[in-house]
A = this chain, B = another copy of it.
Amino acid sequence: MKQFFHEVILKTKGTGLYDFTDFTKDFVHKNKLVNGILNLNVLHTSASLIIQENADPDVLYDLNNFFKKLVPMDNKLYKHNTEGKDDMPAHIKSALTNSHLTLSVKEGKVTLGTWQGLYLFEHRIESQTRIISHHFIGQ
């Protein structure tokens, strides 16, 4: 059994979805990982990891837009409002989505459907540096 750890670092520029599929595939390829579990965690509580459609950019726009309307950036709605109008909505959006993804690697390939991509979902307005922990256990 082998284990590999790696951190993918993404710079974000505002709310929305950022495709990092290629970084994950590179990690698998460079380390010649064959079969095993690949566990991803975003080390922040105002961004998420999700799997989404990688074909039409409108899907990403609509997703971001839906969450924007569902969780309004309105300080009057929240007690926690000292870190900016986007901070508490960011925590809520993080709870509504996911902070980790557990993927399978089979015969050197990440198990994903044809239309599935890996996305960091940024919930903050200002530019951020986001760490996505990658951890492989297997052969």
Q: Which chain B residue shows the least CB distance to A121?
A: B95
Contacts of A106 in B (CB 8 A): 5, 135
Question: When the two chains form their complex, are residues A91 and B104 in contact, meaning their CB atoms are under 8 A apart?
Answer: no
Contacts of A84 in B (CB 8 A): none
Size category, A interface: 35 or more
Q: Mark A27-53, 1 if CB is under 8 A from B, else 0.
A: 000000001110101111100001111
Q: Scan residues 90-112 of chain A and give those whose CB is less than 8 A from a CB of chain B.
A: 91-92, 94-104, 106, 111-112
Question: When the two chains form their complex, are residues A92 and B66 in contact, meaning their CB atoms are under 8 A apart?
Answer: yes
Q: Does A71 count as interface, using CB distance less than 8 angstroms?
A: yes
Q: Does A61 count as interface, using CB distance less than 8 angstroms?
A: yes
